[in-house]
Amino acid sequence: MTKRMLKDALIELLKKKDIYHVSIRELCEAADVNRTTFYKYYGSQFDLLADMENDLLEFIMKTIRKNEEDAEKIVAGVCEYLEENLEFARLIINNNVDPDFAHKLFAMDAIKQSVYERFSAGKSDDEIEYIYNFLTYGAFRTVCAWLNKEERESPAELGRLISQMISNG
């Protein structure tokens, strides 16, 4: 409960200022917790942000592993999570908070392994690397555009669209 309150408070503060200008004092005031409680869980506001990013990355990894053969279910599942956490998703996906987040995402072994297993047959390492970059960055930018729309398609619809683009090239 306390961690959730701190995460919600950080999201609210990040809408107004960057992480470098968020103090522990104002974070604790916004979450209505004392500094001792904050330091029980986190060493800094950066640690709190990293925890929030790790929650998202872990969810993506689990979703990929659960639906390895079904790109549509992977995208739909991730988009449902992003929609449920829309404010944070918009902050992190639009590079407003951590410009390195996309690199962390694309460095995930689960994503690389999924693409390599599906597309590596008969292709050189260079070709696979190009395919990986095309699919991951293309899907990422498509999800970014979707997240920033006010009237979005459902996560299932976006999953179908990205899956079709992957399958039909």
pLDDT per position as a tens digit, 28-77:
999 999 999 999 999 999 999 999 999 999 999 999 989 888 888 989 99
Q: Residue 126 pLDDT more than 80?
A: yes
Same domain, 89 and 140: yes
Decide if pLDDT at 150 tops 70: yes
- Structural domain of residue 33, as residue ranges? 1-43
> 134 and 97 share a domain?
yes
Domain count of the chain? 2
The whole-number pLDDT of residue 50 equals: 95
CB atoms within 10 A of CB 148: 12
Residues 26 and 104 in one domain: no
Same domain for 83 and 21: no
In a shared domain, residues 39 and 55: no
Predicted TM-score (pTM) of this structure: 0.85
User: What is the maximum span of the chain, computed from C-alpha positions, in angstroms?
Assistant: 59
User: Residue 14 — pLDDT band, cuts 50, 70, 90?
Assistant: very high
Cβ atoms of 141 and 95 within 8 Å: the answer is no
- Other CB atoms within a 10 A radius of the CB of residue 10 amount to 24
Q: Taking 70 as the threshold, does the pLDDT of residue 169 lie above it?
A: no
